[in-house]
Amino acid sequence: MARGTARTVRQSDERLMTLFLDMLAAERGAQKNTLTSYGRDIADFSTHLARARRSIANAGTEDLRAYLAALSRRGLRAATVARRLSAIRQLYRFLYAEGLRKDDPAAVLEGPKRSRPLPKTLSITEVDRLLRAAATCDPSAPSRERLRTARLCCLLETLYATGLRVSELVALPMSAARRDARVIVVRGKGNKERMVPLNNAAKNAMADYLALLAEADRAAHSSAYAKSKWLFPSFGESGHLTRQHFARDLKALAVSAGLRAAQVSPHVLRHAFASHLLHNGADLRVVQTLLGHADISTTQIYTHVLEERLKSLVRDLHPLAET
């Protein structure tokens, strides 16, 4: 491929990629991490096409199949190949809809077969141990230590009560802790809002935490926390507690509760929230709404819980179960 032609092809691919990423940001509210991931996947695809003297604008279905085969030869996991294919499908669907391609070469492609692992979760007993450990506070401890303990207890109670994503949890506004609040409005993926109910345990943990937060402000003769718009303020760049900080605190709490640190994470508690609801009779569609899943297929990873509940119902309630 001549140097000038290669440069033209690269510029053409970059223009189409930019248009696609701009659409994701403007129309779907894609966040920075999502855009970076899509950009990286499409750039890898473009590099492969360039080696074959093809481009995003003129690649056909066989070119796409060749790329997927190359990914497999590189030893990429099926989940990674499926993610790359999803990005390519969305790219060509966009180009076709915008009239930038007269066809969609990705429409007939099938992704790699992959089994979906069951989500890691905790039993109700294990969650109870975590909650009891989080609520244990030495009243004679320094105020800073008592505040950290109350914050972790509030985070944990709120997470288990709502099933929020950790990014949604740490970025809760101060308004979420209103005394009369029975639900909180959460801004999730794609900038979409949903309402999630709060239970009494979470509201009480919030009240205790806010009382200590106000006490810390008075002791420091400052209103730094009081003026923050975040429920879990921090002096870091984001202005609120980071996901990583909460995850570290949670693992330390797990060890103190007699659990393995590797077994506990914010996402595991989100899974526990969903699994325990379904086990106790909640509808799958309700759980989908509470978790903020756009597609029911995402929530269906919990169908094993429903299957176990149905088996137990038949075992416990069917008149011939013990015959």
Report whether pLDDT(5) > 70: no
pTM for this model (two decimals) = 0.64
Written as one string, the DSSP assignment of 200-265 is HHHHHHHHHHHHHHHHHHHHTT--TTTT-SBSSB-SSTTSB--HHHHHHHHHHHHHHTTS-GGG--
- Per residue in 88-137, pLDDT (tens digit) is 999 999 999 999 999 999 998 887 665 556 678 899 999 999 999 999 98
Mean pLDDT across the chain, nearest whole number?
86
- Per residue in 43-72, pLDDT (tens digit) is 999 999 999 999 999 999 999 999 999 999
Indicate the domain borders of the chain: 3-97, 124-314
Amino acid at 279: H
| Residues annotated as catalytic (active site), given as ranges | 165, 189, 267, 270, 293, 302
Asked if 241 contacts 171 with a C-beta cutoff of 8 angstroms, the reply is no
* Residue 3, pLDDT score: 46
Q: Which residue has the higher pLDDT, 226 or 104?
A: 104
- The Cα 204–Cα 202 span in angstroms is 5
- Per residue in 260-297, pLDDT (tens digit) is 999 999 999 999 999 899 888 888 899 899 998 887 77
* Residue 315, pLDDT score: 58
Q: Quote the percentage of the chain above a pLDDT of 90.
A: 54
Amino acid at 184: I
Regarding the domain delimited by 124-314, which CATH topology (the fold level of the hierarchy) does it fall under? hpI Integrase; Chain A (1.10.443)
- The Cα 175–Cα 267 span in angstroms is 24
* Residue 167, pLDDT score: 93
- The Cα 257–Cα 290 span in angstroms is 28
* Residue 62, pLDDT score: 95
Q: Quick one: DSSP state of residue 196?
A: E
Of the options 2.60.98, 3.30.420, 1.10.287, 1.10.150, the CATH number for the domain spanning 3-97: 1.10.150
* Residue 316, pLDDT score: 55
* Residue 4, pLDDT score: 46
